[in-house]
């Protein structure tokens, strides 16, 4: 646990929204990677929630703990040192280019090419990031291949080839949500760390420490808290996969609230396609005569649209056929 040596000044919080605590949800699908039923369970979970927890995934815990420790050492550096990493992906409070804010600091980097050249980060930190990304990428390839099996589509690399492509536009984000105990004490509410949104990519693979905060929006639009589990991964369907499955798999709206006492650290791999890839419903998934729900667009067009919109915008809505 990291407690800020300097408590954050409450006036800094004034732009950031707060939220009442919501109920903890025990219904998140839990799937074992090697379960023979995994393919069916993954598809079912992605249809119903766009979200599931993956256990017995085979990624050694050491990869996560090492990266978490390196990340905390970085986030605990004096602000002036962290700011030196700004052109290399460090950010705090601001999310995206359009005025969104959150109680967060982060490192955000592209995963192609590898990150050995991040000059302002320590060598050990770079190694930990690279090792973790390699492992989690492999896992992502495997998950989408099992998903393709479950969807009964061929070839089974129809999704994974997009993530495996050397031009795949995938990124990696390390988030640190410091606690804000004063606000909780004053108002009984939690600060929003990362406001509600869907991920634009194909798939996101998240691992966090044991601090709660992640919430997902269910089909009936209620928000529920996801119990943290530092040994597992949480997988989310992104907008691009919703389109490729013609709406069968749904991208999940989610957000993160800060904990009042404990800091939360999360690491997320966002698997995206190459920029020039056309994002369209996969013909093998369309029933005879089924119309595609979305207009055709490339990943570059979608990403540009995402970066021109506010975090919580319904971006896919702009591409729906009327
Ligand atoms: C949400 C998912 C990923 O964290 C991210 C985010 C990106 C950013 O933080 O720069 C975006 C957001 C995310 C979607 C809309 C745009 C872009 C902030 C924002 C307001 C890295 C991504 O790919 O899209």
Per residue in 273-299, pLDDT (tens digit) is 999 999 999 999 999 999 999 999 999
Query: Exposed, middle or buried, 170 (CB in 10 Å: 0-12/13-18/19+)?
Result: buried
Annotation: CATH topology of 12-315: Jelly Rolls (2.60.120)
What is the tens place of the pLDDT at every residue in 225-276? 999 999 999 999 999 999 999 999 999 999 999 988 999 999 999 999 999 9
Confidence at residue 114, expressed as pLDDT on a 0 to 100 scale: 59
Is the CB–ligand 1 distance for residue 217 below 6 Å? no
Task: At 308, give phi and psi (nearest 5°).
Answer: -100, 5
Write down the mean pLDDT value for the chain: 91
User: Is 264 assigned a catalytic role?
Assistant: yes
Contact 232, 302 (CB under 8 A): no
Q: What is the mean pLDDT of residues 23-41?
A: 95
Distance of alpha carbon 102 from alpha carbon 4, whole angstroms: 17
250 C-beta neighbours (distance < 10 Å), count: 19
- Give 96 Cα–ligand 1 centroid separation in angstroms: 6
Which of the listed residues 307, 309, 310, 315 should we mutate to test ligand 1's pocket, taking the one with most ligand atoms within 8 A of CB? 307
The pair of three-digit structure tokens given for residue 50, joined into one six-digit string: 């766009």
Tell me the CB-side half-sphere exposure of residue 251, using CA atoms within 13 A. Answer: 23
**Phi and psi, residue 301, nearest 5°:** -65, -40
Instruction: Say if residues 93 and 105 touch (Cβ distance below 8 Å).
Output: yes
Averaged pLDDT, 190-207: 96
Instruction: Give the Cα separation of 222 and 118 in Å (integer).
Output: 41
Task: Tell me the pTM.
Answer: 0.94
Closest CA to 238 of 249, 248, 225, 222: 249
Q: Which residue has the higher pLDDT, 65 or 13?
A: 65
The token pair at 131 is: 């090792």
**pLDDT tens digit string along 77-101?**
999 999 887 666 899 999 999 999 9
pLDDT at residue 186, rounded to an integer = 72
Per-residue pLDDT at 113: 67
DSSP 205-233: EEEE-S---EEEE-TTS-EEEPPP-TTSE
Complex prediction ipTM: 0.99
Q: Residue 305: pLDDT above 60?
A: yes
User: Which residue minimizes the CA distance to atom 10 of ligand 1?
Assistant: 96
């Amino acid at each position: 646990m990291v407690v800020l040596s300097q408590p954050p000044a409450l006036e800094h919080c004034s732009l950031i929204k707060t939220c009442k605590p919501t109920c903890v949800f025990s219904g998140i699908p839990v799937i074992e990677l090697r379960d023979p039923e995994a393919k069916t369970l993954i598809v079912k979970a992605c249809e119903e929630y766009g979200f599931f927890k993956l256990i017995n995934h085979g990624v050694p815990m050491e990869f996560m703990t090492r990266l978490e420790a390196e990340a905390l050492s970085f986030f605990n550096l004096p602000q002036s040192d962290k700011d030196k990493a700004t052109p290399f992906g460090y950010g705090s409070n601001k999310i995206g280019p359009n005025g969104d804010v959150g109680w967060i600091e982060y490192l955000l980097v592209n995963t192609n090419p590898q990150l050995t050249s991040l000059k302002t980060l320590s060598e050990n930190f770079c190694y930990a990031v690279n090792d973790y990304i390699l492992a989690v990428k492999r896992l992502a390839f495997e998950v989408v291949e099992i998903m393709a099996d479950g969807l009964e589509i061929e070839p089974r690399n129809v999704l994974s080839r997009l993530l495996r492509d050397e031009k795949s536009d995938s990124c990696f984000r390390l988030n640190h949500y410091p606690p804000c105990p004063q606000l909780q004490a004053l108002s009984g509410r939690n600060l929003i760390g990362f406001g509600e949104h869907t991920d634009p990519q194909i798939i996101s693979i998240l691992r966090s420490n044991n601090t709660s905060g992640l919430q997902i929006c269910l089909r009936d639009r209620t928000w529920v808290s996801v119990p943290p589990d530092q040994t597992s991964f949480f997988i989310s369907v992104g907008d691009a996969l919703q389109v490729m499955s013609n709406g069968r798999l749904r991208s999940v709206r989610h957000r993160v609230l800060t904990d009042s006492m404990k800091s939360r650290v999360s690491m997320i791999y966002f698997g995206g396609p190459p920029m020039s890839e056309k994002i369209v419903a996969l013909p093998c998934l369309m029933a005879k005569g089924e119309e595609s729900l979305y207009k055709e667009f490339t990943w570059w067009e979608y990403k540009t649209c995402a970066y021109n919109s506010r975090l919580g915008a319904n971006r896919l809505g702009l591409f729906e056929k009327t």
